[in-house]
C-alpha cells in the first residue's frame, strides 16, 4: 500500500530553493514517526537533499536512467516509477511517498493514505503539492500542533 507524507501551506506550497520554507521541529518528528522502519519513496533531488540515506528506513529513489547510484541495503534506485507503482500497489507493506513535487503528482492516485501537515498561513515558495480533493478521502484523525495540524486521510 502506498501512503504519502507532506507538509504544505494554505496554498499547497511545499518548498523554496529545494528546502522546506519553514522550520517546525514537531513536524520533523511527525515525519520520522510515520516513516521509521518503513520503505520510503522519493525523487532523486529530494534524496540528494538529505545528503545520506535516512536511518532505519529503506529508500527507493525514483530517477532517470543514467542518474542512478549504487543499490545498497538502504537504497534502491528505480528508473521506471510507473511500473514500480503498479507492481507494489497492492502490497501489504506500507511504502511512504516523501516527495518532491513531480513524484507526489505521479504517486497521488496510487496512495490510499495521506499524512498532511497543514502549515498555517501562506509562505514564500517556488514548489507546490498537487491539488487534491479532500472529499475523495475520509478524515481518520486531526492532530493540532503549534503552527500546523496533521490530518490523516484514508482514500474512499
> How large is the average pLDDT for residues 111-115?
97
- Cell numbers that stand for 96 in this block: 511512504
Percentage of the chain lying above the pLDDT 70 cut = 100
* Domain that includes residue 68, residue range: 2-155
Domain of 88, CATH number, reads: 3.40.430.10
Summarize pLDDT for 14-72 with one digit per residue, the tens: 999 989 999 999 999 999 999 999 999 999 999 999 889 999 999 999 999 889 888 99
Q: Give the C-alpha separation, 41 to 43, whole Å.
A: 7
Strand 148-155 relative to strand 111-119, pairing: antiparallel
Contacts for 152-156: CB closer than 8 Å, 24+ residues apart? 152/113, 152/114, 152/115, 152/116, 153/113, 153/114, 153/116, 154/112, 154/113, 155/111, 155/112, 155/113, 155/114
Q: What is the total count of domains within the chain?
A: 1
pLDDT at 145 over 90: yes
Mean pLDDT of the chain: 96
Amino acid at each position: 500500500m502506498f501512503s504519502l507524507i507532506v507538509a504544505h501551506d494554505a496554498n499547497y506550497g511545499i518548498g523554496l530553493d529545494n528546502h522546506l520554507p519553514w522550520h517546525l521541529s514537531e513536524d520533523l518528528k511527525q515525519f520520522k514517526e510515520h516513516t521509521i522502519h518503513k520503505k520510503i519513496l522519493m525523487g532523486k533531488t529530494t534524496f540528494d537533499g538529505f545528503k545520506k540515506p535516512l536511518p532505519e528506513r529503506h529508500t527507493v529513489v525514483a530517477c532517470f536512467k543514467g542518474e542512478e547510484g549504487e543499490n545498497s541495503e538502504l537504497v534502491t534506485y528505480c528508473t521506471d516509477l510507473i511500473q514500480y507503482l503498479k507492481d507494489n500497489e497492492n502490497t501489504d507493506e506500507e511504502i511512504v511517498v516523501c516527495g518532491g513535487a513531480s513524484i507526489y503528482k505521479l504517486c497521488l492516485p496510487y496512495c490510499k493514505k495521506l499524512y498532511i501537515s497543514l502549515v498555517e498561513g501562506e509562505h514564500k515558495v517556488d514548489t507546490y503539492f498537487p491539488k487534491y480533493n479532500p472529499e475523495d478521502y475520509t478524515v481518520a484523525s486531526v492532530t493540532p500542533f503549534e503552527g500546523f495540524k496533521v490530518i490523516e486521510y484514508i482514500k474512499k
